[in-house]
Structure 1
């Protein structure tokens, strides 16, 4: 037991942990831990890497900025240049020295390492939770490896913390992940919330794995071969989730991404951000203007003029709802929260930013010399100007056009996204996020089942029913009108509408055969770009094992 306690204390001290039964662990009592505390302390670090993976410059950048959905230009010629790494990601000219690739790789491999440590220490702890915790650690090891396979084309098989991992690729990697998820599933819980891996979480990941199996078996295929038996398994696991009755589609679409979303019944598996030690607000702040300050309590919490949606992605909405405005036809596109005249005074509680895709002139809290303008106990709200960008006469007006030209890279260019609620606790705009970040949610399950039915037997009627179930569920405002037909192109469009900014777009485009397409600033059609290069630092670190870690083709 002494050895276990030492390991537990080291992990607590280095990483900060969240008690897996809803409360923050009391790190002050590092000595004299109970068996339950020791078990918690060994499992919590396995989850602790998730917020880092799901930051704006790690998984988000790789999954969104590399696609037709998001673009991050060199803002104003001074911001987000970063040696061209975001331009390269979007244009598919990235290299093995990209720091965002390196950091994502590092977080994933650390997650695997922590899972291996937990799997080796938990069996020595005498507590009733251990069996479930071992299953969670094993499932999380598989999950981190699944993301590694999707991004970099390999998995690491490792059971001994001191041993050398075995590397698997292609079909071998796929079969390993299936076996690991299936081994973990029987001992997982069903009632511990979305922040921990449950049976339904594994079912959702297995459905995703089977749906992408054709890609993972033959990454560079001219046309992917979707096996009927794979589609059957994807349907089976989606059915398990839907028929469980545990989850339900949210009537208010944007509530899925609110700061209090931990109890939202649409979430199946998510990054738990309720613990302030780990949470970040970067998915909310990343796209907003530097002159958008959403919180009356914090005059230093603003956006950063980061990525916008591409004109290509915006036009997919326009085409779907022409001649109407998508903002009036689909509640997933936009939610109006701030209803004001041009110049108003408002109570702090009434200052709530609009959500979704933000276009045109922007209104919000008026800030002068670092402080918000007050009207007695209220706040002045009006038209915003680019004051923080030293352009105080230029209104903050988001335009559709955005590209890598000087004009297209200006601070105003590109429609912006505020899908995840700006955390009301975030003093800096970057920290103290409360929004649980969805990994698997019920709408995605319906859409995966629809796709599997289309790919297996071209059952357009069944696929259409699943898609329309999701569309009809958003009843807090007028739901999107029902579609009347369904095919793979329409389904990809629907996945874009439902899941934008949720870090699935790159994986979707590859599976649908669209990743070699052309979009804003991107013309590369090399299928070898379907996976990213292994970071050069990882290859250099393995140099004492000749041939152990081979670079992916094309890099």
Structure 2
């Protein structure tokens, strides 16, 4: 179903202020058109805001920061002593010293809380409308509330239960929260449409199955968040396998032969995606995932000399070494998930003149000296034939032209490890062709669920339930073998939980799964670059102090998480 969804400015004063969702494109109407709406228009206007804050939730400084920079996968030092200092919040996040006043924690919480509120408004309003789409939209709103609740449970250990906008929410935790989310997803499972009918940007049948599998896999953690061990029961693991099987056998998704196409500008139609944040440029999505890590002197678009990176986070040496250990004497770029070279200039430095249409930044994990479009005084240099001049990059934008954009393995909180060029960088999502600043008009949908994760979750459930290493190995190798656009990674010959954790790192790096994975696999209290804290209470984040203060008039209603 493809149609425009209107933001309706009614006398009630409801104003929806954000971007559109997937095929639900918002169009602001002038109040002078009147306040009498058809039920169809009203239904359309009510469902759009339920999805509208997803781009905000998945921004680089909200959910991404919490899920990645808090782990062994990503680190964001105080660059050059002048950039990304932000009062030390990224240093604290990586070292597990985050406090309840952290603005990224607050932004994530606020966007989730507002999305839940919008879902409740839709749930309470849609049953009163005679629109033929109202039942479907009601199911989607209820399912999205469950999804947002799963995120608050995973991040903060709490879920808010509320069915009436005029009554206070009930705060639940642990097993009660798991059962509530499960019941909501099961209730709407038969009511939402197949992915083929609505695409990956709407809550669809395969997405619900995938969320149920993810819930059952993490339920042992959610029930006992501070536990020294987690009870992965056969009943839970059977359900993981059951819902993964449903997706795999339904034919609603297909593994992509090209790994980086999953994160490309045209990925809205990539068959591997089950559920995603629609970022197509007509929806004015963000492009921060592509700009966040690369250098401020990397300009990926020939037509836009203002679109660059920002020297944000790099991968830790600890995470890079897992690739090295896996491949031994072979360069890890042998794995098509690690790196994709897009121009010969990067291996043939004499090839310095490039057609604008052929200029394309490399993808994956970027190491060593970087080459790209040379810019002087805000304009790109050109060869005598008019082609784009491409050469060795230095930190001209930082007034340090003598410092090469030469990414090093070293990255930490020391002076040397915090330089602009420290750390290998990640360009997993393709840089949007439409982004004139590098910070806007994203094209690539941000992945929430994809088919590879379904196979990996099924593999993990097989291992945890009965030690079925052969079955788990088959699932993992099937995913590896599917990447046939280039030479696929070699088949593995053994499988256990440690190898599966490593494999999930290779497959899903930079996809906002790492923190949840580390906790489930018992790795989150370990030591890595600049992180030595082993306090199990840091598995979840503090509830923002602003939320605690707002609830202070009801004693005991919202209690801060332990350890904060």
TM-score, normalised to structure 2's length? 0.95
> Equivalent of 2:256, from 238, 250, 255?
250
* Conserved 8 A contact 2:8-2:15: no
**Equivalent pair of 1:12/1:41 in contact (CA under 8 Å):** no
Gaps of 5+ in 2: 1-6
Residues 8, 42 of structure 1: 8 Å contact kept: no
> Where do 4+ consecutive residues of structure 1 move more than 4 Å?
4-13
User: How far apart are 1:289 and its partner, in Å?
Assistant: 0.3
In 2, Cα distance between equivalents of 1:7 and 1:136: 23
Evaluate the alpha carbon distance shift between residue 364 and residue 90 of structure 1 in structure 2; reply closer, same or farther with a 3 A threshold: same
C-alpha offsets along residues 272-325 of structure 1, whole Å, 9 cap, x if unaligned? 112544400001100000000001111111000000000000000000011100
CA distance in 2, matches of 1:318, 1:41: 51
Mapped pair 1:331 → 2:336: yes
- Judge conservation of contact 2:9–2:29 (CA < 8 Å) in 1: no
CA contact (8 A) 1:203 1:238 kept: yes
| Rounded Cα–Cα distance in structure 2 between residues aligned with 1:477 and 1:378 | 29
Distance 1:8 1:345 in 2: 60
Are residue 259 (structure 1) and residue 265 (structure 2) matched? yes
Distance across 2 between alignment mates of 1:148 and 1:23: 25
- 1:65, CA displacement in angstroms? 0.3
CA distance in 2, matches of 1:450, 1:257: 23
Contact map agreement 1:276 1:433 (CA 8 A) in 2? no
- Distance between the aligned counterparts of 1:397 and 1:39, measured in 2? 53
**Aligned runs of 1:42-441 on 2, under 5 Å?**
42-190=46-194, 191-274=197-280, 276-328=282-334, 330-340=335-345, 341-342=348-349, 344-375=352-383, 376-441=385-450
Report if aligned partners of 1:288, 1:305 keep a CA contact under 8 Å in 2.
yes
3-state SS of the aligned residue for 2:235? helix
Q: What's the offset of the Cα at 1:544? A: 0.8
Contact 2:299 2:372 in 1 (8 A): yes
Question: SS of the counterpart of 1:89?
Answer: helix
- Does structure 1 conserve the Cα–Cα contact (< 8 Å) formed by 2:19 and 2:285? no
More deviation, 237-246/6-15: 6-15
Deviation at 1:358, TM superposition (A): 0.1
Pair 1:394–1:112, CA change in 2 (3 A): same
Distance change (3 Å), C-alpha of 1:399 and 1:26? same
- CA deviations 1:347-401 (Å, max 9, x no partner) are 1110011100000000110100111112343211111110011111221100001
Distance in 1, Cα, partners of 2:280 & 2:30:
21
Contact 2:19 2:53 in 1 (8 A): no
CA distance in 2, matches of 1:229, 1:241: 19
Aligned residues: 549
1:442 to 447, 451, 471: 451
- Separation in 2, partners of 1:278, 1:117: 25
Q: What residue number does 2:4 align with?
A: none
Contact 1:11/1:42 (CA < 8 Å) preserved in 2?
A: no
Contact 1:279 1:431 in 2 (8 A): yes
Deviation at 1:142, TM superposition (A): 0.4
The verdict on how the C-alpha distance between 1:253 and 1:310 changes in structure 2, with shifts beyond 3 A counting, is: same
> Which residue of 2 is the match for residue 508 of structure 1?
517
Query: Structure 1 residues 371 and 247 mapped into 2: Cα distance closer, same or farther (>3 Å)?
Result: same
- The DSSP-based 3-state class of the residue aligned with 1:374 is coil
Q: Sort the Cα spacing of 1:502 and 1:10 in 2 relative to 1 into closer, same or farther, 3 A.
A: farther
Deviations 1:438-475 (A, max 9, x none): 10100000000000000000000000000000000000
- Unaligned runs of 5+ residues in structure 1 are none
Deviations 1:197-225 (A, max 9, x none): 01110110110000001100011111111
Q: Which moved more, 1:511-520 or 1:275-284?
A: 275-284
Q: Distance in 2 between matches of 1:36 and 1:516?
A: 51
Contact kept? 2:276, 2:446, Cα under 8 Å: yes
Alpha-carbon distance in 2 for matches of 1:374, 1:37: 52
**What SS does the aligned partner of 1:26 have?**
strand
**In the aligned structure 2, how far is the partner of 1:408 from the partner of 1:398?**
11
Given that 2:72 and 2:529 are in contact with CA atoms closer than 8 Å, whether structure 1 keeps it comes out as yes
Please say if residues 298 and 372 of structure 2, whose CA atoms lie closer than 8 Å, have aligned partners that are also in contact. Answer: yes
